Structure 1
Amino acid sequence: MLRGIHKASSTWVGKAIMGTVMGFLILSFAIWGIGDIFRGFGANSVAKVGGSEITIEQFRQYYTDKLQQLGQQLRRPITPDQARGLGLDQRFLGQLVAETTLDEEARKMRLGLSDKAIAERIMADPNFKGLNGQFDRGRFEQIIRNAGFSEQRYVAEQRNVLLRRQIAQSVSGDLAVPQTMLDAVNHFQNERRSIEYIQLGAAQAGDIPQPTADDLAKYFEARKVTFRAPEYRKVTLLALTPAELAKPDAVPEADAKLYYDQRKDSFGTPEKREVRQIVFPNAEDAAAAEAKIKGGASFDDVVKERGLKPGDTDLGLVAKSEIIDPAVASAAFSLKSGEVSAPVKGTFGTVLLTVGKIEAGNQKTYEEVAPQIKQQIAEQRARNDINDLRDKIEDERAAGSTLAEAARKLNLKVTQIDGVDRSGRGPDGKPVTAIPRSPDAISAVFGTDVGVDNEALQLPDGGYLYYDVTGVTPSRDRTLDEVKDQVTERWRNDEIAKRLKATSEDMLGKLKSGTPLAQLATENNLKVETAFGLQRGRAAAGLPPAVSEAAFSTGKGEAGVADSDNGDRRYLFRVTDVSVPPIDPQGASPEQLKANLQNSYADDIIGQYITRIESDVGVSINQQAVNQVVGGQTNQ
C-alpha cells in the first residue's frame, strides 16, 4: 500500500534516526482531519468523501482485514475491545478515508491504467513466482485467498494502489535533503565511542553462605507467585497441511523428471559476470568509440572522455536473466573476460560492453534434487485435496464425532499433547514443538474450553489446524519443597547481585574521585579491558547491550556502571574517546541515509496534500455506523 498514506503522520525525524517503525501501532492519523469532521449522516454509510461513500460493509471488510493482518504480525488475535483500546478503529478509519480521498482525486484527474499494465504488474510480483521464477497462477490464487481477496477485488485494489502512487510521486517529487539534517542524523547513527572497563563477577561478591531454612521460607513467601505452577492444557491436534498430507514416495519418477527438465535452470547457480556498458545516443558515436578502442584506447578512456563516472557504466556482477535488455544480455554473455564488444543495438540505445570477472554457474543433477522435487509435487497435489478433507472433517464433527474420532474415520493423523502452558512449554519445561508457532495456536488453545467445537485455524501454507481441548490442569501454588532447588538458586543469584551492586557503586565513587581504573583493577584482582567503536543500538562483541547504552549517556572522560543482562555481572567503565566519521559522498550508506530522509520529507508533504484535498472535497463520518462495525458505544 502507499507508503505516504500509511506513514505520513509518523515522526519523520524518528524514522530517519531509528530506521524502522512499529507498523500499525504507532501510526497517528490526526493529519487526516478526523477531528474536524461532523457526525451523523447516511444510515448505510460510514463516511462520505466528496462524491464517494464508504459503505458499512466496505469498512467492515477493510477493518476486519487490517485486524487479521495485524494479528498475524503479533502472532495472536486482537479482540474488538483491544482494538478500540489501541485506537485502531479510528486509525484504520482514517487510513480508509485517506485512501478514498486519493481515489476520488484520481477520478477527478481522470487518471487510469490499462488492464494489461495491471496484469503485468501482478505477474512481475516476486511473491507470485514459483520455483522456476515465473508467474504461478496457483500460488497467486492461494496467496490472495489467504489474504481474504477474490481475484476481481485484488485486481481492483492494485489498480487503486498504482493510481494513488502516481499522485503521491507527483506531489513529493525529488526532494532535496538539507546538509545540516544529514550531518545531524549521521552524527547520531554513526557516532563511535571507546571505553576501558573492568568486569565484576561472582568472585568479587565473596563467599555466599548457604541460606538458612528461615531465609528460604521468607524469600519464597515474598515471591510465591514467581514459582507458581502454570495452567496446563491437554490438547488434541489435527494438522491439515500440504506437508502433513504429502506422499513424496507416491510421486512417479517420470513426473519428477519432467518437472526437473521444465525448470532445470532454477536448480543451481547461474553464471554471473561483471558487466560494464556505455550507452550512446546513436550508432555513429558508438562506432567512433569502437574505432578508438581498436586504435589502442581502453574502455575506461572512452568512459572518461564522455564525462562518465565508473558507477554510470557498472551493471554489477549479474546473471544473464538479470539484464533487462535481451540484446545486451546476449552480447555480454558471449564475450571473454576483458573483451570489448562491437556496438550493440539495444532497447535504450546503442551500447559498447566489456566483461570483467566471470563466475561459472553450477547446475545440480536430477539425482541431487529429486527428493526436493518429489516433496514439492506431493505438497502441490495434497494442497488440492485439503478443502475436500476439510469438508469431510466438518461433516463428521457436525454428526457429533470428536476430532480424534473424525481423524480415525478419515485415516488422518492426530497429535495428543498431554500438557502445554501459555508459553508453549510442557511440564518438563521444554517447548512443545508439535504446536505450530504461526498463527499463534497457543492463544487459541487457551481461549477456548473443554468440549467446545472450535473453528480451524488457517495456516500460512494454505492448510488448517484443528484443535480440541480435552483437559485442563488449573494453575496452583507450589510448595517450597517442590521448588527448593530453584528457590535456593534464585536466592543466591539475588545475593550476588546485591553485593556486586554495592561493590561497583563504591568503586565508581572512587573512580569519579580520581582513582585510576588500573589501580582499582589491581586492588580487586581484575583486568582492565578495552572496547572500541561502540555504536548506539548495536551490540558490542563480548559486552551486553546495557554497557553500550550506558556509554552513550556518559561524557568523554567520565565514568559509569552497567549491569549484565541477568544481573550476574557488573561493568565499571570510563569513556576514553568519542568520534563521528564524516559523511563519505561516495559511500553507499550516505545514499541510503539520504533516501530515508527523502522518504520522510515526502511522507510529510503527502500527508499535508491529503489533508488539503479532504478539506476541499469535504469529509463526513457517521459515528453510529462506525460503532456498528467496531463495537463501540453509540452516540445518541
Structure 2
Amino acid sequence: MLQAFRGRAASWIAKILFSLLALSFIGWGATDYLVRGPQAGPVIEVGSTKLEAPLAQRIVGREIEVLGRQMPGLDREQLKRLGLVDQAVEQVVSRIALDQEVERLGLAVSDEALRRTLTGNPAFRAPGGGFDRARFNAVINQMGYTEQGFLNEFRKDMVRSYLARGLATTGKAPGAIVDPLLKYRGESRTPELAVSLAGNPDALPAPTAEELKKFYDDNSNRFTTAERRKVSLLLLSIASIKAEIAVTDQEVIDSFEARKAELTSFEKRHVVQVLVNDEAKAKAIAEAAKDGDLAKAATDNGAQVTELGTITQTELPKALGDAAFALAENAVSAPIQAEFGWTIVKVLKIEPKVEPNFETLKAQIADDIKTERGMDKLYERSNKLDETLANGASLPDAAAAAGLKLEEIPVFDRRGLSDTGEILTGLPGRNRIIDLAFQTPSGETSRLIELPEGTVAALRVDAIEATSVRPFDAVKADAEILWRVDIATKAARVKAEAMLAEIKAGKSFDEAAANAGLTIEEKPAVTREGAGAGDATVSAQVLAALFGLAKVGDSEIADLPNGAAVVRLKSINAAEADKLKVEREALSSELSDGIGGDAALVFQQYLRQRYPVAIDKARLDSLF
C-alpha cells in the first residue's frame, strides 16, 4: 500500500514523458522482455521472437496503459470493447517486426546523435532551459530503468523513428491532385431556406382509438423491449477475505523492522546546477561563485542555473551525488566532469534523514500484511472455486462449498438498465458482468472471471426475457405522444412538399413560399463541411440537399428534426485558389501524409511476410 502510494505520487513523471517526449515512447521497455529462440507455447510469435503468456501480458498490458491514457476514466474491459487491446497487440507485433528488420539492415545511431537528442529533448529540460539531470534520472527511475538500460532502449527507439519518418516522408502530393481537391473543398454555396416547422403537438385533437391502434401496429419497433436477463452472481473479493485475517502486534513490529529502510526518508538536498561543455568555462564559473552567488557567476560566463530539485543522493549520478552531498548548505562545488558535460552544483537547503514512526504507520502496515495474505488466499480460493465449477458443480453448490452467498440480480438489458429504467450499480466490473451474462446460455453457469479491485466472479443465467413488443394497453400514453409528434411533423413536411410542387410547376421561389405561408431566410455562403453556417438550421440534411443541386435556382426539400425546409441554391461561389495558400499547404500536407501512410502500410505488409506472425487469440483473450 505504501509502495502504491509512492507510485501514484510519482505519476507526474510519466505524464511529462508521454506528453513531451519527441520520439515514439509508446513501447518503452517492451524489448526488455522479449525472448528469442524456441519456447513452448508462445502467445505471440513474430519471426524469431516468441512471447510466452506472462511476457505477452506484461508487454501488451503496458501498451494498453499508454493507449488508455487517451481515454481517461475507462476501465480495461471498456477499452477492450473499443478495440484498444487489439490495437495494442498490433503495435507490439509491428514494433517487434521492425526491430528485427533494423537488426537485419544493421542500422544504428551514433553516440553523438544520441547525446544531442537526449540533451535537446523537452522531456529532460529544466523550466529555464538546458538539460536537467534530475528530471532525466527521475523519468528513467520511474520507468524502472538503469541509466545504461534506458540509453540502450532509447537508441533502439531512435532507429525505429528514423525508419518510420523515412516512410512518412516518402513523397509529396502532386499539384494535379491537390489543386482540383482544393477547388472542390473550397467551393461555397449560398442557400435560401423556406422553413416549415411542426406545430404544437398538444394542440392537435386526440386520435381515435382506431388511429392510435393503427399507429401502434405500424410502429411496433418503437415499442419493443430489449432482451433482458436475470442472473445469480457469485463474488469472491479480497476485501471480504481480509476481514477474516487477524494480524498480531508482533507481526506488525516484525514487518516494520524489515521495511524500516524502505520507510525511511533519507537525507534530501535542494540542488541547482550549471552545465557547460567547456572545462575552462566551468572552472571560471566555480571560481567566480566562491562567494556563493552561482547565478551571477553563470550569467557572467554565458551560462544559466537549472533546478535539480530536492533529491536524495541515489537520484544523482555517483560523481554528482558524492559532490553535492559533501557540501555544506549554500556551498558551491568545484567543476565535476559528467557524461553530458562539466557541472557545478550548489546546495540551497538540506533536509535531514527522518526515521519512520511506528505509531504513525502501524495501522497501514497491518493492512498491508492483510492485503498480501488476502491475495494469496484469493488465489487459492479462486483456483479451488474454478476447479469445483469445472467438475460440474452447480453455482449454488460451489458457493456453499466456498462459504459464499449468491446475489440475486434483478433483470437487466445489455445497457445495464432494469425494468424501471434504472442503471445497474454497485457491482465491481459492472460492464464485464453484463457482457458475461449475455454470453452465457439460459440455465448455465459462466466461467470464473477476474474483476477490478481484487475480485473474481461467476454467474448463472436464471432466466432470459426475449425481445418483445410491449402490450398496447401498457404504452397507450407514450403512443399518443409519438402519434401527435408524427402528425405535426408530417403536416410541416406536406406544406414544404406543396411549395416545392408549385416551384416545379413554374412559380418563383418567393411566390411559392408566400402561397405556403412560409418566410424566406437568406443564409450566408457555406462550404461542404459546413464552414460559414450561420445557425443550426443549416444542418447536415440541408447541406446534403444544397450541394446535391445541379444549378443556381434549383430547389429541394431537406428534413429537419421538427419539420422540413425547402432549400434553394442562390449562388455557387468558386474557390479562389490564390487566396487559399494556407489551406493549400494544409491539404498538400494531409495528402502527403496519406501517401506516407500508404507507404508505411505496404512496408508493414512486407514485414509481415518476412517475419510471419502467429497469435494464439484464445489465450490472449484470457489474459485481458
Q: Normalising by structure 1, what TM-score?
A: 0.49
Task: Specify the structure having the higher radius of gyration (Cα).
Answer: 2
With CA pairs under 8 Å and 6+ residues apart, which has the higher RCO, 1 or 2? 1
Q: Normalising by structure 2, what TM-score?
A: 0.50
